[in-house]
């Protein structure tokens, strides 16, 4: 019974924030599994659509859910990466390594130098 209670808690509008917890997390309202398979008369009447048009729109909405979840996942990955990145500022006189781009005729073995710069 816990899963049913959690589902109800997550899909009921909170007056203080005027939204459901589900919509705050996923950016859209929850789609009930029954409404996906069998369009309810309430939904068809409110939307003023025939069943085929409603099914096409529902399919598009379900595809958008996956896209939004992927976008959110990529944003979370980018945030985690950006937290660890430290910006570096170079000033005149700093010692840096310069990447060597090798021409086709030059030595391209794994022992060939990749960088040119000061020796320590």
Which whole number is the average pLDDT over 26-44?
A: 67
Q: What pLDDT score was predicted for residue 81?
A: 92
Overall number of domains in the chain: 2
Q: How many helices (H) and strands (E) does the chain have?
A: 5, 2
Enclosing domain of residue 79? 31-83
Helical H segments across the chain, by residue range: 2-11, 21-26, 33-37, 41-47, 51-84
DSSP 27: S
pLDDT digits (tens, 9 = 90+) for 43-53: 666 667 677 77
100 part of a folded domain: no
In a shared domain, residues 49 and 8: no
User: pTM of the predicted model, to two decimals?
Assistant: 0.34
Query: How far apart (Å, rounded) are the C-alpha atoms in residues 76 and 26?
Result: 13
111 part of a folded domain: no
């Amino acid at each position: 019974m816990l899963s049913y209670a959690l589902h109800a808690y997550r899909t009921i509008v909170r007056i203080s924030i005027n939204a459901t917890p589900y919509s705050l997390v996923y950016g859209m309202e929850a789609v009930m599994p029954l409404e996906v398979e069998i369009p309810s008369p309430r939904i068809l009447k409110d939307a003023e659509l025939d069943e085929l048009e409603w099914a096409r729109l529902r399919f598009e909405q379900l595809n958008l859910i996956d896209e939004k979840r992927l976008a959110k996942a990529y944003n979370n990955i980018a945030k985690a990466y950006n937290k660890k990145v430290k910006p570096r500022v170079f000033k005149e006189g700093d010692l840096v390594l310069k990447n060597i781009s090798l021409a086709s005729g030059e030595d391209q073995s794994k022992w060939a130098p990749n960088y040119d710069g000061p020796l320590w």
